[in-house]
Amino acid sequence: MSAQRTKSRAFRGRVARLCAIGAGLTAALAGGRAASAEDKAGAVALFREAGALVDAGQPSRACPKYEESLRLYDSVNTRYFLADCYERTGKMASAWAHFLEVAARVRASGDRAKEAKARERAAAVQPKVSRLTVVVEVASTPGLEVKRNGAPVGPGQWGAPMPVDAGTHVIAASAPGKRTWTAQVEVKPDGATSTLVVRALEDGPASVGVGGVGGVGGVGGGRRTLALVTAGAGLATVGVGAALGLAARSRFDESSAFCNGDRCDRRGMDLRDSAVARANVATVVFGVGLAAIAGGGVLWLTADAKSATPSASIRLSPTVGGALVQGSF
């Protein structure tokens, strides 16, 4: 007798799905343009495969096919049977939401019988819906973002018991300049309520900031940026000084044709005076470059040191035979 009742239920289920397919095709032919003909045909094929799996006692394999069928063509009937599949697999929150959606849609179409059936199913599922409360300890953290299984959990949900499917949920919280916080919570079935507290986020590494790659941001990052710029300018200045020195040496060598030892004619004296002048300039420029490189090194090495001010500056003042480095942090 039990076997006969099981066969009878399976038969009624197949009949109901065939009717749903017919209704869905009728609606499609009536002028729905959101999906292509191929998508609608694919939705029907998946719907049939899902129904066969449910009849075979494999709802966990059927639900993904219902989901894809619904994605291809949003049919009220498909949504109803997807809700039924969710209920069979213990996803009560998803089932409840879909039954209510079906009720709202068929009410708009004036089908009171289907609306009543969908609401009856939703009411039967509601007591079995589990809930998860996410309590945010420091809600005032600037830029705080909380996610559940990758989906945003807005401030309006914080502290409120939200309907969720039973099972493992991953909660993540992040904010600029803070370490990302993650935790797993196991929500039990049959209307259980779970609570997860998001603790205050820890500060991120001092070298990590808003400024960009490699920790160039914040106080330490600002110093490193200045260090790189200063050292780079120093290298360029050293190159200029070296070029001036070579030019001075070339002038001095050129004067040899007009000099005998230290005795030179007018042309030789002019060339040597020019060489000396260029050598003096080269010395100053070379010294400034070396000082800039040294200053850049100091800034880099002290980038992580705590400072009362978030900025750093350095001035290079050329002097006779070198340069005076003046810096502040």
**63-73 tens-digit pLDDT:** 999 999 999 99
pLDDT (average), residues 112-134: 97
User: Using CA atoms, how far apart are residues 253 and 258, in angstroms rounded to an integer?
Assistant: 10
In this prediction, residue 25 carries a pLDDT of 39
User: Using CA atoms, how far apart are residues 103 and 251, in angstroms rounded to an integer?
Assistant: 96
Read off the pLDDT of residues 168-197 as tens digits, 9 standing for 90 and up.
Answer: 999 999 999 999 999 999 999 999 999 999
Read off the pLDDT of residues 223-280 as tens digits, 9 standing for 90 and up.
Answer: 778 777 777 776 787 677 677 667 767 766 776 777 777 777 777 677 667 767 777 7
- For 76-85, give one letter per residue: b (16+ CB within 10 A) or e: bbbbbbbbbb
Copy the structure tokens of residue 110.
């004036």
Does domain 2-127 correspond to CATH entry 1.25.40.10?
yes
> Is pLDDT above 80 for 95?
yes
CATH tag, 130-198 = 2.60.40
CA atoms within 13 A on the CB side of 265: 4
In this prediction, residue 99 carries a pLDDT of 97
End-to-end alpha-carbon separation of the chain, Å? Answer: 89
Angle formed at CA 204 by CA 201 and CA 207, multiple of 5 degrees: 170
User: Using CA atoms, how far apart are residues 286 and 244, in angstroms rounded to an integer?
Assistant: 9
- For 236-257, give one letter per residue: b (16+ CB within 10 A) or e: ebbeebeebbebbeebbeebee
Mean pLDDT of the chain: 78
